[in-house]
């Protein structure tokens, strides 16, 4: 079984090995067992159900709340050679009939549906008539009221085991505490499921928290430093989304807004433009959350404090899904806490308020910690991070440092104590800076010993000291006494000089590149490959990452993969994509090598460590010699390709190999391609010496192809040698 699975993995997805936990999950689904898997974003959840769907007879029904994402998921599955469709409210009646017909004819491997669709009686009748192999529940945390994104429509999924008692259920989620996990298993009625709780660690993500001060300018500076990269900026409210997007647009940054107040058509258009790389920056509320499957998001910025760690983890998880390095920056100001607390206080249920308060406390602790942020984040999910230094957060990289602030803290706490512990942060800061307010004069606080004790610093500095004292439980705000500040026992120790008080201070960041991330690739070649990917994506009306991910293109640009063997060895290039897109990308790489011989020579030394995938057998099991045999029989390149179910470019590669091996006397180019095409190619080469293949094809009026040009050039080189 393992060998069969690995062959299918290689053939469909172009991967040599499974990621952690994938193999066990796929095996259990194929064996008919229920599965519950908690796997982080980017951990490869979709492969866990797509691979068994391909390997098994029957239909895999994928239940997902992501209507806006379904088309992209289906396009990606089709690009890998699977038969997939979706059913949701966006389909026309004609398309719904077409999909139902495909279900009835048992033509599909995968069917994506929303939970609302699954609950419809008519759909259930249709489904019972189909041959269902198993169910996959995506975003399974939506079924739990304890989760961060509960959806009542998900509760209907508990009926799966009633209507389909023999069909296994595989439930997946990217985030779930142990309490939420238990609730999911119980609500779905999973039967002795295989349980997987993968590590939540995303080592390619760099976590950073910076003080929020003039946020729009801070965001603009970040975007200037990351020009051309795709990213998401999260804001809390629709108003803040609109204002930030408008500001960035005024500064020349092409940024789109996304929030629930836009029409469905506007939201879909903005999301599609982001997915297609037509626009690089989206400013959004969390409504933009789960509908994103874009693999090359290089940064996620939070302009406001998230309500809880689980939501923050999900949102930062949109970054770096291709495994490449990505930046997650949170802009933090304690005023965000006041805003969130206001909404928490509107919650009627005392238990819900308590839970929300605890979640907020954990989020603030993450933002204000002077310890490894990765350790704090993983600890929320009960995962112990054992390394002393993660090398991918601002604290571990020395972006922040601990500074002794005992004296400033004593000045603030002295003002609090001497004024009777009856006043809020604004008034205390005014006392310390020596402000001449009517309130201070009326109360006589200008006579206090600490009045003006901190006049060398501005009020903003002293508010930050107050925030730090609150965060470290040295003082507290008494909500019943108009948020007046009071000393805690810990604060009293610092005031008396018996304990030291430290704060963290920002330094310049030195972001490390995590291990295993593609580096040293040709950026110029990568840019050309991205341009070609964009052209194909627009032609096929799919997002660029459906064609190839950025990581796959970087590997091509690292190893200069200009042969089917080398291209097949690139991560993410399966049989279907090699056959469909291989010729085009190999030609671009080959032409780049010809135009940049010195760079090509430098990258040639990188070929040795490539783990070349063992050559996959095609359906007929033929070799290059079989191509020679057919060529001797007088078959054209087109005819050989059709018989062998291979691309014409691949057959052209075989011809080039045969010519290099000295078989030119056995091959007649005018029998392999039309003589008129051959003459046209030769004339174009002579007239446009040194031009790119694309330019030559355009000059021919698209009468010749990449495969034609390569073949003619190979024969011309033989004649001239």
Dig out the tokens for 305 from the structure: 């404090």
Query: Which residues, in sequence order, are CB contacts of 122 under 8 Å at separation 6+?
Result: none
pLDDT at 69: 74
pLDDT of 396-414, one tens digit each? 877 666 788 999 999 999 9
Look at the alpha carbons of 530, 534, 535, 539 in this order and tell me if their dihedral is positive or negative: positive
Among the listed residues 543, 628, 548, the one whose alpha carbon sits nearest the alpha carbon of residue 580: 548
pLDDT at 129: 87
**Segment 355-359 mean pLDDT:** 82
Alpha-carbon distance 296 to 551, whole Å? Answer: 8
pLDDT at 475: 92
Query: Which residues, in sequence order, are CB contacts of 644 under 8 Å at separation 6+?
Result: 618, 620, 622, 626, 627, 630, 651
pLDDT at 621: 33
Among the listed residues 254, 322, 313, 256, the one whose alpha carbon sits nearest the alpha carbon of residue 294: 322
Q: Hunting for tokens 């929020």 — which residue is that?
A: 212
* DSSP letter assigned to residue 393: B
φ/ψ of 242, rounded to 5, equals -65, -45
Alpha-carbon distance 674 to 107, whole Å? Answer: 38
Residue 199 has pLDDT above 80, yes or no: yes
Instruction: Compute the C-alpha angle 88/90/93, nearest 5°.
Output: 85
| Confidence category of residue 479, pLDDT binned at 50, 70, 90 | low
pLDDT at 649: 67
Residue 200 has pLDDT above 60, yes or no: yes
| Confidence category of residue 659, pLDDT binned at 50, 70, 90 | confident
| Confidence category of residue 220, pLDDT binned at 50, 70, 90 | very high
CB 700 within 8 A of CB 683: no
Q: Hunting for tokens 């010699």 — which residue is that?
A: 625
Q: H or E segment at 401?
A: strand 400-404
- Give the range among 121-135, 232-246, 454-468, 602-616 with minimum mean pLDDT: 602-616
Alpha-carbon distance 687 to 317, whole Å? Answer: 52
Please give the sequence-ordered ranges of beta strands (E in DSSP) within 318-416, or none if there are none: 326-332, 400-404
Instruction: Compute the C-alpha angle 135/136/142, nearest 5°.
Output: 120
CA dihedral in degrees (239, 242, 246, 247; nearest 10)? 50
Domains of the chain with bracketed CATH: 2-197 (3.40.50.300), 205-397 (3.40.50.300), 402-506 (1.10.10.10), 518-599 (1.10.150.80), 617-721 (1.10.10)
pLDDT at 608: 36
pLDDT at 132: 93
Q: Residue 110 forms beta bridges with which residues?
A: 60, 84
pLDDT at 180: 83
- Highest mean pLDDT pick, 122-126, 349-353, 651-655: 122-126
pLDDT at 512: 47
CB 392 within 8 A of CB 512: yes
The mean predicted confidence, pLDDT, of the chain is 84
Residue 602 has pLDDT above 80, yes or no: no
pLDDT of 683-718, one tens digit each? 888 888 766 666 787 788 878 877 788 788 888 877
Helix axes 706-720 and 648-660, enclosed angle (nearest 10): 10
**Segment 179-197 mean pLDDT:** 91
Q: What percent of the chain has pLDDT over 90?
A: 30
Dig out the tokens for 576 from the structure: 């279907």
pLDDT of 383-398, one tens digit each? 889 888 888 888 887 7
Residue 516 has pLDDT above 50, yes or no: no
| Confidence category of residue 651, pLDDT binned at 50, 70, 90 | confident
Alpha-carbon distance 721 to 716, whole Å? Answer: 9
pLDDT of 534-580, one tens digit each? 888 888 877 787 888 888 898 899 888 888 878 888 888 888 888 88
pLDDT of 253-312, one tens digit each? 889 999 888 888 888 888 888 888 889 999 998 866 545 668 889 999 999 999 889 889
**Segment 664-680 mean pLDDT:** 87
Alpha-carbon distance 197 to 410, whole Å? Answer: 47
Q: Hunting for tokens 């008494």 — which residue is that?
A: 478
């Amino acid at each position: 079984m393992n060998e069969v699975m690995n062959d299918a993995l290689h053939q469909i997805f172009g991967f040599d090995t499974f990621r952690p936990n994938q193999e066990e999950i796929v095996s259990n689904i194929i064996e008919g067992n229920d599965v519950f898997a908690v796997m982080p974003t980017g951990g490869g959840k979709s492969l866990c159900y797509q691979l068994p769907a391909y390997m098994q007879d029957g239909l895999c029904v994928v239940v997902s709340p992501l209507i806006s994402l379904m088309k992209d998921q289906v396009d990606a599955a089709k690009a890998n050679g699977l038969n997939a469709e979706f059913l949701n409210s966006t389909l026309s009646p004609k398309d719904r009939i077409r999909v139902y017909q495909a279900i009835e004819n048992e033509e599909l491997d995968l069917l994506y549906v929303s939970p609302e669709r699954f609950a419809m009686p008519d759909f259930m009748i249709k489904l019972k008539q189909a041959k269902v192999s198993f169910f996959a529940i995506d975003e399974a945390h939506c079924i739990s009221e304890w989760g961060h994104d509960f959806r009542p429509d998900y509760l209907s999924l508990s009926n799966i085991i009633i209507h389909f008692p023999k069909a296994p259920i595989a439930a997946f989620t990217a985030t779930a505490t142990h309490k939420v996990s238990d609730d999911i298993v119980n609500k779905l009625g999973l039967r002795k499921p295989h349980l997987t709780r993968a590590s939540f660690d995303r080592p390619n993500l760099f976590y950073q928290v910076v003080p929020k001060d003039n946020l729009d300018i801070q965001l603009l500076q970040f975007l200037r430093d990351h020009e051309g990269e795709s990213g998401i900026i999260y804001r809390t409210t629709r108003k803040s989304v609109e204002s930030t997007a408008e500001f960035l647009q005024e500064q020349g940054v092409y940024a789109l807004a996304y929030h629930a107040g836009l029409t469905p058509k506007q939201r879909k258009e903005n999301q599609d433009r982001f997915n297609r790389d037509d626009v690089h920056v989206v400013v959004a509320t969390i409504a933009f959350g789960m509908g994103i499957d874009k693999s090359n998001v290089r940064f996620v910025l939070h302009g406001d404090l998230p309500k809880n760690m689980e939501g923050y983890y999900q949102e930062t998880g949109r970054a770096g899904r291709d495994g490449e390095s990505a930046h997650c920056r949170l802009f933090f100001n304690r005023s965000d806490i006041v805003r969130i607390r206001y909404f928490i206080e509107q919650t009627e249920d005392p238990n819900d308020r308590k839970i929300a308060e605890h979640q907020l406390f954990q989020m603030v602790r993450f933002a204000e910690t002077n310890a490894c942020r990765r350790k704090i984040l993983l600890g929320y999910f009960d995962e112990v991070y054992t390394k002393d230094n993660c090398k991918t957060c601002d604290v571990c990289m020395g972006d922040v440092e601990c500074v002794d602030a005992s004296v400033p803290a004593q000045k603030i706490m002295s003002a609090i104590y001497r004024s009777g512990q009856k006043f809020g942060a604004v008034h205390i800061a005014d006392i310390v800076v020596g402000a001449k307010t009517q309130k201070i004069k009326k109360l006589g606080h200008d006579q206090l010993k600490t009045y003006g004790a901190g006049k060398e610093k501005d009020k903003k500095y002293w508010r930050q000291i107050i925030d730090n004292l609150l965060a470290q439980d040295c003082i507290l705000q008494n909500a019943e006494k108009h948020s007046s500040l009071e000393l805690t026992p810990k604060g009293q120790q610092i005031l008396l000089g018996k304990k030291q008080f430290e704060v963290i201070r920002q330094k310049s960041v030195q972001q490390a590149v995590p291990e295993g991330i593609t580096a040293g690739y040709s950026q110029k070649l990568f840019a050309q490959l991205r341009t070609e990917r964009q052209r194909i994506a627009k032609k096929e009306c799919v997002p660029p990452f459906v064609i190839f991910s950025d990581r796959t293109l970087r590997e091509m640009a690292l190893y200069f993969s200009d042969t089917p063997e080398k291209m097949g060895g690139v991560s993410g290039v399966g049989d279907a994509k090699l056959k469909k897109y291989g010729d085009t990308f190999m030609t671009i790489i080959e032409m780049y090598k010809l135009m940049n011989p010195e760079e090509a020579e430098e990258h040639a030394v990188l070929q040795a460590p490539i783990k070349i995938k063992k050559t996959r057998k095609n359906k007929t099991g033929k070799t290059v010699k079989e191509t020679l045999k057919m060529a001797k029989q007088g078959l054209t390149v087109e005819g050989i390709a059709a018989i062998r179910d291979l691309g014409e470019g691949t057959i052209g590669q075989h011809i080039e190999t045969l010519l290099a091996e000295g078989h030119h006397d056995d091959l007649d180019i005018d029998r392999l391609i039309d003589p008129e095409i051959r003459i046209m190619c030769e004339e174009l080469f002579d007239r446009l010496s040194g031009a790119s293949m694309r330019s030559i094809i355009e000059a021919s009026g698209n009468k010749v192809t990449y495969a034609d040009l390569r073949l003619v050039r190979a024969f011309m080189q033989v004649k001239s040698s």
